Amino acid sequence: MEWLNKKGLRQSFFIITALFLCLGIVLAGITFSICLKVQDHISVSPNFEISLDEEGKIISGKETAAKPQTPDHGGGIWNLITLLQFTLPVLWIILSLISAAVVFYNLKLKRPLAVLQAGASRIRRHDLDFQIESCAQDELGQLCESFEIMRKELQKNNQELWRQMEERKRLNAAFSHDLRNPITVLKGSAKILQKEAAQDSPDSRIHAPIIKESISLITEYTARIETYVALMTNAQKLEEIECRPLLCDTTALHTELEHALTVLTSSQKKMIKISNTILTLQVRIDKQFLFDTAENLVNNALRYASATVQVEVSYHQDKIQFCITDDGPGYPDTILQKGPTPFLRENPSGNEHFGMGLYICKLLCEKHQGGSLTLENTNRGAKATAIFRTESLFPPHSANSLSIS
């Protein structure tokens, strides 16, 4: 029956119907002939022809051809055979058509319909992790193939929707995570202003530099928050954030970084040591990427450090390198094995952190012209090295260092 499976539904229907109809006609003809023979057998009797003389005596006699008898002479058997002679052929035709329908259903319809029904039932239960096999080469086989294409599209759309939901979750987590550092700087600057304003000193010139510096930080970080909010609002996913390197003076860059890290440590009883060995006047870099990465890494180190965090900033071979070390317990094995991934954190039950900090740092480094982030544990604690690819435009100058407690 393999050749029949390759035929279309219409062709298969006509072929099967014609075959069984022919079979029914043959059986009807055989039945009709048998009934005729039986009827002939019971409806005839022997017939004798007798010759008589003038006196009425039999001269001779011989058997002649039989003459058919009337139905009255055949009795009930004659009537029964006559009835079967006309009803059995019709019955054979009807049975052949019914048999053709049953065979056509079993061969061409039963399995494809069962496959389609099972697939529709699983889709109704939102289960798309299966495959619909094409069990025929006819119209129903094509319908199964179309059904499989529809299932794949539904699965693809569901996966894309799930990916977008996860990406939106990551984006919101990154948004809330990275806003903490600028807000911390703003809070620290506001506290410094409140502290200076509360001091009663006749000489206002003593407070002027501190107030001016705090106001400058508030203005700068307010602008950073506005820029970041606009950037994250327009981005549909973290990978869409664009890197825009601009020409920056390294001295001003280092000063701004010192101010930011100073405010981050103002509320913690820990020491941070910053050493700067950038021996060039100007570099082309995206300050938003640089500051977000530095603040995230330092904030993470301060959270786990016992007493001291060291930050080394250097420049060589068109790379700005941040190396942050702390004297804490080090990175968990999970983070070292899997690397920085979204929502990966040491304590999943905590709700303060989303495990996004290291992942954001890694992403920003890679987006900045192919940089990198390396995490490792040392004998003293954890160590994170962030590299930003850039270029210097002027000759080097002297290095400097800073310690903050």
CA-to-CA distance for 214 and 198, rounded, in angstroms? 15
Return the pLDDT at 385.
Answer: 92
User: For residue 202, is pLDDT > 90?
Assistant: no
The answer, yes or no, to whether residue 53 has pLDDT greater than 70, is no
**Side-chain half-sphere exposure of 157, counting CA atoms within 13 A:** 7
Cα distances (angstroms) measured from residue 60 to each of 53, 56, 67, 247, 296: 9, 12, 21, 147, 139
Would you say 210 and 185 are in contact if contact means Cβ atoms under 8 Å apart? no
Q: Taking residues 223-243, what's their average pLDDT?
A: 65
Encoded amino acid at 321, one letter: Q
Place 178 in a pLDDT band, splitting at 50, 70 and 90: low
At residue 119, does pLDDT exceed 70?
yes
Q: Per the structure block, which two tokens stand in for 398?
A: 């002297």
Residue 57 predicted with pLDDT over 80 = no
With a threshold of 0.75, does the pTM exceed it? no
Q: Show the tokens assigned to 195.
A: 């502290």
List the structure tokens of 54. 């003038």
Q: What percent of the chain has pLDDT over 90?
A: 6
What pLDDT digit, counting tens, does each position of 93-107 carry? 999 999 999 988 888
HSE-CB at 76 with a 13 A cutoff on CA atoms is 0
Which range (226-230, 254-258, 272-276) has the least confidence? 226-230
249-to-208, 209, 231, 278, 393 alpha-carbon distances in Å: 26, 22, 24, 11, 10
Using N-to-C axis directions, what is the helix angle for 9-43 and 76-104, rounded to 10°? 170
For residue 56, what pLDDT band results from cuts at 50, 70 and 90?
low
Distance CA 271, CA 185 (A): 17
Overall fold of domain 244-405: Heat Shock Protein 90 (3.30.565)
Please, which pLDDT band fits residue 358 given cuts at 50, 70 and 90?
A: confident
DSSP 78-120: HHHHHHHHHHHHHHHHHHHHHHHHHHHIIIIIHHHHHHHHHHH
Contact status, residue 12 vs residue 107, Cβ threshold 8 Å: yes
Higher-pLDDT residue of 24, 186: 24
pLDDT at 348: 44
CB contact set of 385 (below 8 Å; sequence gap of 6+): 321, 322, 323, 324, 373, 374, 376
CB 235 within 8 A of CB 171: yes
Per-domain residue ranges of the chain: 2-48+66-127, 244-405
The predicted model gives 116-127 an average pLDDT of: 86
231 has a pLDDT exceeding 50 = yes
Q: What angle do CA 55, 57, 62 make, to 5 degrees?
A: 140
| Average pLDDT of the segment spanning 234-262 | 76
pLDDT beyond 80 at 345: no
Residue 386's pLDDT band (boundaries 50, 70, 90)? very high
Q: Give the C-alpha distances (Å, rounded to integers) separating 33 from 29, 92, 95, 356.
A: 6, 14, 19, 92
Least confident of 45-49, 354-358, 401-405: 401-405
Query: Tokens 């900045």 correspond to what residue?
Result: 368
Q: In sequence order, what are the beta bridge partners of 60? A: 51
Question: Do 381 and 329 touch, CB atoms closer than 8 A?
Answer: yes
Q: Is the per-residue pLDDT at 62 higher than 70?
A: no
d(CA 384, CA 340): 11
Q: Are 157 and 206 contacting, i.e. CB atoms less than 8 angstroms apart?
A: no
